[in-house]
């Protein structure tokens, strides 16, 4: 028997159906039903159990977009829902904090949710996967939430200043000005999560540090939340140096994409090496993202898939 779902607005209809009904197509691929939009009403037709399942999925999705001020993409929601129908609601209700614009920051895919939980449950977490999967952003959000809750007293963000086509020696300015371009993605995440005045105050007080990885040698970081970004460009000694900086009550998140290593060909990535020798050690977690977790513009996912396909074809030819 067909069932109807009343939608409160055209915005809800667009969120559920997609601009070109692509969400309906996605839902119908996974559940054997027919979904027909009529005005602000969805008509669901099919076998009784399938209709019931689809109705529950749409209602769960509506609950999320009515509760939060941003729309969780249907693709991400459906992925979570199919794996565990309770996970999708929990994923979007797991607000870490609110961004500078007042938007709730929360996991948007199943793997992002596992990443956040891993940070909560472990002292050291490795996030490995493509650009655009939210690794840096969620790490920064978790760090700020720990600072707000007084679980740590400072945040340290680091990146290796690896040259990718342009030599540091030829960049203008003093050393800090030379390394700032390498640190800019970290600043981008910070400024999205807090206003510039607050950020500048934290930087001035030393509560927030943004530094090149090389500047961390010889330090002991206690009571800190430490994030290492672009970790695929660390050497093995650099990765060991970073991991051994951790003092009491410190947490570390190490993020990187092993498909974008800019080290010389003879140099093994410290991230690749660490994933080989550290996995399985208690209190160290490895979370692996894929193109399905990309939360930037939808075209980014297609670009990643195209490059992966090209690399696979090249591997077969060789």
User: Could you report the per-residue pLDDT of 41-90, keeping only the tens digit for each?
Assistant: 889 998 888 888 888 888 878 877 776 555 566 766 776 666 555 455 55
Residue 87 and residue 144 in one domain: no
The overall average pLDDT reported for the chain is: 82
Predicted TM-score of the model (pTM): 0.67
Contact 164, 262 (CB under 8 A): yes
Domain residues for 21?
3-93
Same domain? For 241 and 285 the reply is yes
- pLDDT > 90? residue 25: no
Q: Say yes or no: 148 and 84 in one domain.
A: no
- pLDDT of 100 strictly over 70: yes
Q: Which of 34, 63, 93 is the last residue of a domain?
A: 93
DSSP summary character for residue 103: P
Tens-place pLDDT, residues 191-210: 888 888 898 899 899 999 98
61 and 168, same structural domain? no
Whether residues 129 and 75 share a domain: the answer is no
Give the DSSP H or E segment for 53.
helix 48-67
Together in a domain, 63 and 141:
no
* Total number of domains in the chain: 2
Residue 221 has what DSSP assignment? B
**In this structure, are 108 and 219 located in the same domain?**
yes
pLDDT of residue 164: 42
Please state, in angstroms and rounded to a whole number, the distance separating the CA atoms of residues 237 and 262. Answer: 16
Q: What is the pLDDT of residue 49?
A: 81
Domain stop point among 74, 93, 112: 93
Average pLDDT of the residues in 245-270: 93
Domain boundary among 40, 66, 93: 93
What single-letter DSSP state applies at residue 9? S
């Amino acid at each position: 028997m067909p069932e109807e779902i009343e939608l409160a607005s055209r915005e809800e209809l667009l969120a559920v159906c997609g601009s070109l009904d692509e969400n309906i197509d996605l839902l119908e691929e996974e559940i054997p039903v027919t979904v027909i939009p009529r005005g602000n009403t969805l008509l669901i037709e099919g076998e009784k159990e399938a209709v019931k399942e689809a109705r529950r999925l749409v209602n769960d999705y509506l609950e999320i977009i009515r509760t939060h001020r941003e729309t969780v993409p249907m693709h991400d929601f459906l992925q979570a829902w199919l794996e565990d129908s309770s996970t999708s609601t929990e994923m979007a209700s797991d607000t870490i904090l609110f961004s500078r614009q007042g938007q709730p920051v929360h996991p948007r895919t199943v793997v992002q949710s596992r990443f956040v939980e891993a940070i909560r449950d472990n002292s050291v977490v490795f996030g490995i996967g493509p650009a655009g999967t939210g690794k840096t952003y969620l790490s920064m959000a978790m760090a700020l939430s720990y600072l707000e809750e007084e679980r740590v007293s400072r945040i340290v963000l680091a990146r290796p200043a690896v040259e990718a086509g342009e030599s540091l020696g030829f960049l203008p300015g003093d050393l800090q000005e030379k390394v700032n371009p390498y640190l800019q993605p970290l600043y981008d995440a910070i400024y999205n999560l807090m206003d510039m005045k607050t950020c500048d105050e934290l930087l001035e007080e030393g509560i927030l540090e943004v530094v090149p990885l090389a500047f961390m040698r010889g330090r002991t970081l206690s009571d800190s939340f430490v994030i290492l970004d672009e970790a695929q460009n660390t050497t093995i000694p650099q990765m060991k140096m970073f991991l051994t900086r951790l003092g009491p009550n410190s947490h570390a998140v190490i993020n990187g994409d092993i498909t974008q290593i800019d080290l010389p060909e003879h140099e093994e990535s410290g991230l690749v090496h660490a994933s080989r020798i550290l996995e399985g050690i208690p209190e160290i977690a490895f979370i692996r993202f894929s193109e399905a977790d990309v939360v930037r513009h939808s075209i980014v996912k297609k670009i990643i898939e195209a490059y992966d396909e090209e690399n696979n074809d090249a591997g077969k030819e060789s």
